[in-house]
Amino acid sequence: MSSKIFSLALVTGLAAGAASGAHAALVYANNPAPGDAYSNASGSNQGQAIAGSDWYYNNVRNGGTVGISDANPRSGNASASFSGTAGPGGASYKADIEYLASGVAVGGNYLASGSLGAFSDFSGMSYDWYRDSASTNTAGQHPSLRILLDRDGDLSTINDRGGLVFERAYNGGGAAPTDSWVTDVVTGTTFLWNFGLGIGNEANINATPYAYDATLAEWQAHSPNAVILGFSSGVGSGWGPFVGAVDNISWTIGGVTTMSNFELERATVPEPGSLALLGLALAGLAVARRRKGA
């Protein structure tokens, strides 16, 4: 009920004959303004479903906070904001917002139990992110964007689950801009690094000695049977104090683009007639107040 999906009609033919289209979803906070601020002080990952959507606040620990709120509006009245202070050493915070295929709660956190499609049909993803200048963590850090995968495509085996991560630091990025929204786009030639997938974190899958320079296309060749479990954006762990946000997370699978705009549900807008009546009532109230005060 909190998520309204609009079919935007088929977008101009990127690939004539192929399935193509776009869906933009408004994903609403669970709470009215100022919105959500889901946090967990404990050291174990906890999550919360975002009602009416397949999105979750997830993997939140050590005081990390994530929530759709009006702190940093983007494409409307809100975005998904992040903050955390613990770290970078010791028990540092973490907080994600994740879209999961058939998400299920496991010990207070959420896991996908289904698939969004074949990794081989994935052609890219993008998002807008924001780093507030109040952040004192490493200057190149910003909320990352991840695709979550099951590497062998068999959902009953979970030791090969993991993901691929986009960060500017491994794509020629320097210091992240602050106090302004930045749009990043992941294509077949973008460098991604992995966690999990049954091959260890930061695996080197190509001929170069460096682990962080495998492109999306190389990962697709490396894991031809993988299926997509979901998408994720987040902050930490191992960061210092950070304040920021993300919005307009989108991905394209089989030529169909899905974009999520994080928003606060608007109050019902009164019709012009009732606005006029409200105006008259307020004017009357002002007059009454003046009279009372005189």
Q: What pairs with residue 83 in β-bridges?
A: 65, 243
Least distance in Å: CB of 198 to Ca ion? 8
Return the structure tokens found at 193: 């690094």
Least distance in Å: CB of 213 to Ca ion? 5
Least distance in Å: CB of 19 to Ca ion? 26
Least distance in Å: CB of 194 to Ca ion? 11
Tell me how many degrees the CA angle 171-23-25 measures, rounded to the nearest 5. 90
Distance CA 185, CA 202 (A): 21
Return the structure tokens found at 282: 């307020």
Is residue 261 involved in binding Ca ion (CB under 5 A)?
A: yes
Least distance in Å: CB of 48 to Ca ion? 19
Q: How far is CA 7 from CA 24, 25, 75, 79, 101, in A?
A: 7, 9, 18, 21, 20
Is residue 189 involved in binding Ca ion (CB under 5 A)?
A: no
Is residue 150 involved in binding Ca ion (CB under 5 A)?
A: yes
Backbone angles phi, psi at 274, to 5 degrees: -70, -30
Instruction: Tell me which of 3, 20, 178, 206 binds Ca ion, using CB under 5 A.
Output: 206
CA torsion angle 264 270 272 273 (round to 10): 180
Q: Which is nearer to Ca ion, 70 or 121 (CB)?
A: 70
Least distance in Å: CB of 127 to Ca ion? 11
Quickly list DSSP for 20-48.
-EEEEEEEE-SSSTTB--EEE-SSS-EEE
Please answer whether residues 105 and 159 qualify as being in contact, where contact means their C-beta atoms are separated by less than 8 angstroms: no
Is residue 225 involved in binding Ca ion (CB under 5 A)?
A: no
Return the structure tokens found at 147: 């695709």
Span near Ca ion by CB under 5 A; candidates 16-24, 207-215, 233-241, 285-293: 207-215
Q: Which is nearer to Ca ion, 160 or 167 (CB)?
A: 160
Is residue 247 involved in binding Ca ion (CB under 5 A)?
A: yes
What residues from 25 to 84 belong to the interface with Ca ion (CB under 5 A)? 74-76, 79
Is residue 217 involved in binding Ca ion (CB under 5 A)?
A: no
Least distance in Å: CB of 208 to Ca ion? 4
Is residue 204 involved in binding Ca ion (CB under 5 A)?
A: yes
Distance CA 5, CA 125 (A): 19
Q: Which is nearer to Ca ion, 132 or 152 (CB)?
A: 152
Q: Which residues here bind Ca ion, judged by CB under 5 A?
A: 74-76, 79, 150, 152, 154, 157, 160, 204, 206, 208, 210, 213, 247, 261-263
